[in-house]
Amino acid sequence: MPKPKILISGASIAGPAVAFWLVRSGFDVTIVEQSAALRHAGNGVDIRAEALTVISRMGLSVAVRERAVYTQGLRFVDVRGRERARVSTAGLEKIVGSEDVEVTRGDLSALLYDATVGDVEYIFGDAIAELEQDDEGVDVTLRSGTQRRFDLVVGADGLHSAVRRIAFGPEETFVQFRQHYFAAFPADLAIGEHGWTTFYNEPGRSAAVFGADPGKGQVNFMFHSDQSLSYHHRDSDAQRRLLRDAFVGMEWHVPSMLDAMDKTDDLYFDALAQTKMPSWSRGRVVLVGDAAYCASPASGAGALLALTGSYRLAGALAEGGISQAALARYEDAQRDLVKLKQSQLFTGITVPRTRAGILARNLFLSSPLIGVLSRWKADHATSLREYTFSPGKV
């Protein structure tokens, strides 16, 4: 019997992660990615709690730890660079007994790609243009004109998912703007301290530098905006202009950070937004990761949700085959974690809206209360059942 064919749109975190498990269950998997190659941009992403379990079940714990970025914590400075608060990640880990690992998003994506490339067909520089589904399968037309039929289509194509738009409806129906914009790009600037992310804030604006070994430094900008701004999410010149406008007149090292932004070709810029949907599947089309339940960079949970969601989706399909019941079981298993992470945003810490808010944040982070908060967060980890992946079953 021919293997059931699955097409995945998007090769960042969720796409390769779901493919990793699907090929182990006997599915024939193709991934189409609109970029010409894997994208490298992105900050360190936190792999914690259930995501560590998934990485360990994938046999990738050692590889992930080899790529770990050792972050000491966060520092908050005033305009003259004087430290006003400091939170040590190592200190927090001792308190919560956590074994969190931080890797850059690009390294995690490359690792998942390397772990799947021999078993999965990757198509770069193309994208789904049309989907037509019937009871037996889905006819897919790519932008290049290629036409193929699959048994299931998985949208792992992020916040601005094309699969979601084509199969479920317009982005505005499902994506809620969270009044902030976020940018990240690599830059080695001699600012702050090695191993620490140093933040400078003005009301509603945050500029941060992660000081690291050459080639590993990062800059982030975050700013508050009541209105959603008009630009195309792939127009990086427009994004640079928006960032310059948003940070005009900001002191500290912000002018040299903006100059570094102009020199990079690896800028990530997006709205802080959340995807909220009543259902993540429609017939033979299903969504995973940010496409279905983006919690936003301010949640620190993008990789966690993508890795657990991919594992649960592939596990449900491995055990139940391509069926409505299996897709419903994936949703049942993943919903609670999504609800929790979408309710925990840290913009009050990273981008206070007023001078009083900046002061209060600095006082709070210098107090023992921070340990209590970490313990509260750790207690809310949900359980992750183990699925059976066996090639003979599907």
Contact residues for ligand FAD (CB under 6 A)?
A: 9-15, 32-35, 39, 41-43, 105, 127-128, 156-159, 162, 184, 268, 289-290, 297, 302-303, 306
CB of 287 to ligand FAD, least distance (A): 9
Contact 159, 294 (CB under 8 A): yes
The 3-state DSSP class for residue 112 equals helix
Considering beta carbons, is residue 23 or 108 the nearer one to ligand FAD?
Answer: 108
Contact 144, 109 (CB under 8 A): no
Question: Which whole-number Å values give the CA distances from 304 to 74, 269, 377, in the listed order?
Answer: 21, 20, 14
Considering beta carbons, is residue 299 or 374 the nearer one to ligand FAD?
Answer: 299
How many CA atoms within 13 Å lie on the side-chain side of 5? 13
Considering beta carbons, is residue 108 or 394 the nearer one to ligand FAD?
Answer: 108
Considering beta carbons, is residue 95 or 340 the nearer one to ligand FAD?
Answer: 340
CB of 359 to ligand FAD, least distance (A): 27
Residue 211 per-residue DSSP state: B
Contact 226, 179 (CB under 8 A): yes
Burial of 104 (0-12, 13-18, 19+ CB in 10 A): buried
CB of 13 to ligand FAD, least distance (A): 4
CB of 257 to ligand FAD, least distance (A): 15
CB of 367 to ligand FAD, least distance (A): 27
CB of 17 to ligand FAD, least distance (A): 8
Letter for the amino acid at 83?
Answer: E
Question: Which helix (DSSP H) or strand (DSSP E) does residue 13 occupy?
Answer: none
Question: Which helix (DSSP H) or strand (DSSP E) does residue 311 occupy?
Answer: helix 302-320
Contact 105, 46 (CB under 8 A): no
Considering beta carbons, is residue 159 or 246 the nearer one to ligand FAD?
Answer: 159
Contact 231, 269 (CB under 8 A): no
Considering beta carbons, is residue 95 or 189 the nearer one to ligand FAD?
Answer: 189
CB of 121 to ligand FAD, least distance (A): 14
Contact 219, 260 (CB under 8 A): yes
* DSSP string for 63-88: HHHHT-----EEEEE-TT--EEEEEE
CB of 279 to ligand FAD, least distance (A): 17
Q: What is the dihedral of CA 241, 244, 247, 248, to 10 degrees?
A: -120
Return the ∠ at Cα 44 (arms to 39 and 49), rounded to 5°: 115
175-186 and 218-224 as β-strands: parallel, antiparallel, unpaired? antiparallel
Closest residue to ligand FAD using C-beta atoms: 289
* Pair of tokens at residue 55: 């990485």
Considering beta carbons, is residue 295 or 384 the nearer one to ligand FAD?
Answer: 295
Considering beta carbons, is residue 84 or 309 the nearer one to ligand FAD?
Answer: 309
CB of 275 to ligand FAD, least distance (A): 10
Considering beta carbons, is residue 277 or 394 the nearer one to ligand FAD?
Answer: 277
CB of 330 to ligand FAD, least distance (A): 15
Considering beta carbons, is residue 4 or 297 the nearer one to ligand FAD?
Answer: 297
Contact 151, 3 (CB under 8 A): no
